[in-house]
Amino acid sequence: MEPLLAKLTNTASLNYAEALHASRELLNGNMPDAVAGAFLSMLQTRGETADEVAGMVAAIREKAQTIPFQAVDVMDNCGTGGDGSQSFNISTTAAFVIAGAGITIAKHGNRSVSSRTGSADVLEKLGVPLSLPAAETTHLLKDNKIAFLFAPHVHPGLKQVMQLRKILRIPTIFNLIGPLTNPVPLDSQLLGIYRRDMLGMMAEALHKLGRKRAIVVNGAGHMDEASLAGDNHLVLLEEGKQTAFTLHPEEVGLSVYPLEAIKGGDAADNAQILLRVLNGEAGVHRDTVVLNAGLGIYANGKTNSIHKGIKMAQESIDSGAAKAKLQYLIDYKQKEVTS
């Protein structure tokens, strides 16, 4: 590690191979806490690069639970958190809408870290199973086109790192990479990030990790989701090429709402919002979900325009297809309990 720390001390960046090696050392417990703290702090102070992010993610995925699911056209939609908006669980709700539109979603998520309520908290409140054996996760992906991958369950080797993060008490690369560490091989992704200056870097990291198509979004108000509050800043990744653009909700037929309109509550409150959206209730929550699900459908490449993606998202809700995806997961849990 000495040569790599020397590079970082001189504000040089690590290439992919170096980042992968250093990350393996960290995750395997071969790095003393003082060295690990210095390593993570120097990355954060200088600003992480796409190679460093991709190398860390690759090392994490090497130690993750193996999900024996091989399919073309699998995606995830997730935000990094950290935007301080205290919004309801937008990407979790949108995941069911995207799945209802016919796209396989390996929904990777966790309990609350920087927000009031995480995806796992809400899904648990709804009765969705969190920690399933790999074979059952595979079954759900095949039969239901959506399954939830609970981060602590699929990444058991990260417990030591979590303790280190608590000791450091500063943002590190781990505040950025959660949505990238899905153990299922993904073809496409909708990634929300709270830092607008990292849109291009994160798109490049996604490319290095094998995504064929992706959208990285920083929403109006610097949300880690697309927002109805104004201009959203996005980067489209397609076969390695990046295209930056902005999107205002009125451009796709949606109304403008302030950020305060989408504030959520605890897990029970946010679960009820999710259900109301999937049951077809009109308003700001539905429109926010439709915007994000439409972007996800477009990011996947199932349609060639955001307008069409939004139309497909609306149809997914109104037909009951999105709600059926959630109900399948709830019923699956009930079968487990009664069997």
222 assigned to a ligand binding site = no
Pair of tokens at residue 331: 């019923």
156 residue type, one letter: P
Q: State the DSSP string of 76-96.
A: EEEE---S---B--HHHHHHH
What is the maximum alpha-carbon separation in the chain? 60
pTM for the full predicted model: 0.94
d(Cα 201, Cα 12) in Å, to the nearest integer?
Answer: 16
87 assigned to a ligand binding site = yes
109 assigned to a ligand binding site = yes
319 assigned to a ligand binding site = no
d(Cα 241, Cα 212) in Å, to the nearest integer?
Answer: 10
- The predicted-structure confidence for 150-190, as pLDDT tens digits, reads as follows 999 999 888 778 778 778 878 889 988 989 999 999 999 99
294 assigned to a ligand binding site = no
90 assigned to a ligand binding site = yes
Q: What average pLDDT does the chain have?
A: 93
Class of domain 74-330: alpha beta
169 assigned to a ligand binding site = no
24 assigned to a ligand binding site = no
112 assigned to a ligand binding site = yes
85 assigned to a ligand binding site = no
Predicted pLDDT at 65: 93
115 assigned to a ligand binding site = yes
Share of the chain above pLDDT 70, in %: 98
What lies within 8 Å, CB to CB, of 167 at 6+ separation is 33, 37
286 assigned to a ligand binding site = no
224 assigned to a ligand binding site = yes
Domains of the chain, residue spans: 1-62, 74-330
Burial class for 272, CB neighbours closer than 10 Å (0-12, 13-18, 19+): middle
91 assigned to a ligand binding site = yes
- The predicted-structure confidence for 55-101, as pLDDT tens digits, reads as follows 999 999 999 999 988 777 899 999 988 778 889 999 999 999 999 99
305 assigned to a ligand binding site = no
253 assigned to a ligand binding site = no
61 assigned to a ligand binding site = no
114 assigned to a ligand binding site = yes
Q: Cα–Cα distances in Å, from 1 out to 39, 58, 273, 291?
A: 9, 18, 48, 45
SS (H, E, C) 281-327: CCCHHHHHHHHHHHHHHHHHCCCCCHHHHHHHHHHHHHCCHHHHHHH
Predicted pLDDT at 336: 59
pLDDT band at 111 (very low <50, low <70, confident <90, very high): confident
Question: What fold is seen in the domain 1-62?
Answer: 1.20.970
113 assigned to a ligand binding site = yes
Pair of tokens at residue 121: 């908290």
127: left (phi over 0), alpha (psi -120 to 50) or beta: left
